[in-house]
């Protein structure tokens, strides 16, 4: 009997064809990101044009008391920036917003670290934090006026009270839900509780802390306007109240646009910081 030798299997063309290189994959990913950015920018421009067209249409149908013309809003904006009215109002509002945000960020992060890091303390104070968080901030305004008056100090307290709890709750949640694997690894290498807390749990909670800061910054803008409307009228909120009482809708919308731009800028800066810090976090 003759012994036959099996021939090695012939590789199919699809099995030997090399895949795309890493450079090609990176180039394709870059193209996809550029296309996506182009689509997003185009959609945003289309929405902005639609809003402008809607303003013209509503002005033609209902009159300038209901909706001013966009060109009238632009003219009023140029006038208010030229005579310094808008700049003064923006400076006063930024003072209240900045002080209130710094105060709420510092106290919220410190209290959040304590509540998230010490479970017993967190369980004791949790119902009180939830009760304060669920109470509308406007309910405290009369009490704040009695305690602090009507001027900058009282407005800063209103902003602080509005933004404190989102920062506190996000910080506490980030600390309490720190990566268990990293904590166990630190313990295996002999790290004590203080080292684990400051070197593992707090850095791992940074994305959550920054998310709370971003939410708090947006709420600070709202709180600033509310404080300036309900107390001694000043800043952008005072300009809103004056224009609204006089039915100067073009002037009113000019201030609203500045408030929208201010809130968007603050949120964008904090979101950029959040994205940069979140890159190193292990999934």
Q: pLDDT tens-digit profile of 57-70?
A: 888 888 877 888 88
Q: pLDDT tens-digit profile of 43-57?
A: 889 998 898 888 888
Q: pLDDT tens-digit profile of 1-49?
A: 445 555 555 555 545 555 566 777 777 777 888 888 888 888 889 998 8
The first and second tokens of residue 131, run together, are 């009760």
Domain 70-278 has CATH 1.10.3720.10: yes
Alpha carbon 134 to its chain's center: 20
Residue 58 exposed, middle or buried by CB count within 10 Å (0-12, 13-18, 19+): middle
Q: How far apart are CA 208 and CA 196, in angstroms?
A: 18
Q: pLDDT tens-digit profile of 219-263?
A: 888 888 888 888 877 888 888 888 888 888 889 999 999 988 888
Q: How far apart are CA 164 and CA 160, in angstroms?
A: 6
User: Which has the minimum average pLDDT: 112-116, 189-193, 229-233?
Assistant: 189-193
Is the Cα dihedral 182, 184, 186, 188 positive or negative? Answer: negative
Domain boundaries, the chain: 22-62, 70-278
Confidence of residue 282 (pLDDT cuts 50, 70, 90): very low
């Amino acid at each position: 009997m003759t012994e036959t030798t099996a021939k090695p299997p012939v590789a199919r063309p699809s099995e030997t064809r090399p895949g795309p290189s890493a450079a090609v994959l990176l180039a394709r990913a870059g193209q996809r990101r550029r296309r996506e950015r182009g689509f997003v920018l185009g959609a945003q421009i289309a929405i902005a044009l639609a809003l402008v067209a809607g303003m013209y249409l509503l002005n033609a149908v209902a009159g300038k008391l209901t909706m001013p013309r966009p060109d009238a809003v632009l003219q009023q904006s140029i006038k208010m920036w030229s005579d310094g009215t808008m700049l003064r109002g923006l400076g006063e509002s930024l003072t209240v917003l900045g002080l209130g945000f710094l105060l709420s960020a510092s106290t919220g992060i410190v209290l959040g670290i304590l509540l998230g890091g010490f479970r017993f303390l967190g369980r004791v104070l949790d119902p009180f934090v939830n009760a304060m968080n669920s109470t509308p901030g406007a309910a405290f305004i009369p009490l704040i006026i009695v305690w602090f008056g009507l001027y900058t100090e009282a407005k800063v307290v209103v902003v602080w009270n509005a933004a404190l709890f989102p920062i506190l709750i996000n910080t506490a949640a980030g600390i309490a839900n720190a990566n268990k694997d990293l904590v166990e690894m630190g313990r295996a290498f002999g790290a004590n509780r203080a080292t684990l807390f400051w070197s593992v749990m707090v850095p791992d909670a940074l994305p959550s802390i920054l998310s709370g800061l971003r939410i708090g910054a947006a709420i600070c803008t709202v709180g600033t306007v509310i404080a300036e409307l309900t107390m001694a009228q000043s800043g952008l909120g005072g300009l809103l109240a004056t224009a609204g009482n006089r039915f100067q809708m073009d002037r009113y919308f000019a201030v609203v646009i500045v408030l929208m731009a201010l809130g968007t800028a603050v949120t964008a800066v904090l979101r950029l910081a959040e994205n940069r810090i979140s890159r190193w976090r292990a999934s």
